[in-house]
Amino acid sequence: MKILFLFLDGIGLGDNNPEINPFARADMPYLRSLLVGRTLVRENAPFEGDLATLLSIDPNLGVDGLPQSATGQAVLLTGINVPAELGYHYGPKPNPDVAKYLNGKTVFSKTVGAGKKTALLSAYPPRYFAGINSGKHIYSSIPLAFTNAGLPLFTKDDYYSGNALAADFTGQGWHDFLHLRDAPVYEPEEAGQRLAEIASQYDFSLFEYWASDYAGHKQDMDSAIQQLENFDSVLKGLLENWQHGEGIVLLTSDHGNMEDLSTRRHTAADVPLLFFGDKSLRREFQKDIHDLTGIAPAIGRILELD
C-alpha cells in the first residue's frame, strides 16, 4: 500500500464567491469532472464520487487565534494537537516548542522505523541550502521533520536527474527566478505523470507546495488562478498514472488563506481533505477524521506503521 500526500499551503474551503475566491473562479475541468460538476468550495463538502472524496476538516483545533503554518504542519505530521498542548498557534517557521514535536513523532520517522521507504519529493535549490548552512534561514516544519528522520533533502542534482520535482511542479521557477537556464521544465500534465512515477517508488511520500500561501498573502488573484489551473493539469497527469488499487493520493492544508483574497491574513476556514483511490480504501482512510489531528493516524493505519 502506498500514500502520496500533496500538501498545499494555505488553502481553505471558502465561499462560492468569484470576487474573492479563486477556487470559485479558476477553470479546473479535470477536478470538476471528478467532483461531478462541483468546485472546491465550502458548500460542496462532504462529497463522495467514483474516484474522489472531499471532506471539510477543522484546522483551528479549539485554540484561540488564527491557525499558523508551523503548528498546523506539525499536527498534520504527528496527529498531536500541538496548538492545544502549547496554548497557541505559531508560524511560519517552528520555534523550539514546536520543533520538539518534529523529532521522532512524525509519519516520516514512523515510516523509517517500520522499515519502509519515505521521501519528500520536492527538490531544493542550492541557495536554499546556502541559507540553511549559513544560519540565515531555518527549516520549516516539513523539511525539519524529514531531516530529523535521518533522511537527506533532494537537491538540484536530484531534480536534474528526474528523482524529484521543483516546488512549483513544472520547474519554470527554476528558470525564471533562480536563473538556472539548463533546469528541466515540464508541462503541468507531464509533471503530474513524473510525480506518479517518482511516488510509486515509496511507501509514503509527500510533496510540499507553498506558492498558494504566498498568493493569499499578496491577495494576487491572477497568480492564484494560474496556480490552480496549472494544478488541475498536474492532477490529471498524476491520477491518470496512479495505481488506484494500490494506494491513496491525499491533498490537504494547514490553514486557510488563498480562498479569501479580501484579506492578507490567514483565515479560520475549514481546510479541504481531498483524496483519491478505490472507494473502499477511501472509506477506510477517512474513519475518525474530523480535524487536522486525524490525518497522521489514518496514514499510520493504512501503512501499518505501528
Query: Dihedral, CA atoms, 270, 218, 208, 143, nearest 10 degrees?
Result: -110
Domains, the chain, with CATH or none = 2-264+290-303 (3.40.720)
Tally of residues, the chain:
306
Write down the pLDDT at residue 306: 77
Write down the pLDDT at residue 61: 98
Beta strand 204-209 with 247-252 is unpaired
| Residues 213-231: tens digit of each pLDDT | 999 999 999 999 999 999 9
Write down the pLDDT at residue 58: 98
pLDDT along the chain (306 residues), means of 10: 97 98 98 97 97 98 98 98 98 97 97 98 96 94 98 97 97 92 96 97 97 94 97 98 92 98 97 96 94 98 92
| Residues 83-93: tens digit of each pLDDT | 999 999 999 99
Entry pTM: 0.97
Write down the pLDDT at residue 259: 98
Angle 275-286-247 (CA atoms, 0-180°, nearest 5)?
A: 50
DSSP label of 66: -
Grouping H, G, I as helix, E, B as strand and the rest as coil, residue 205 is strand
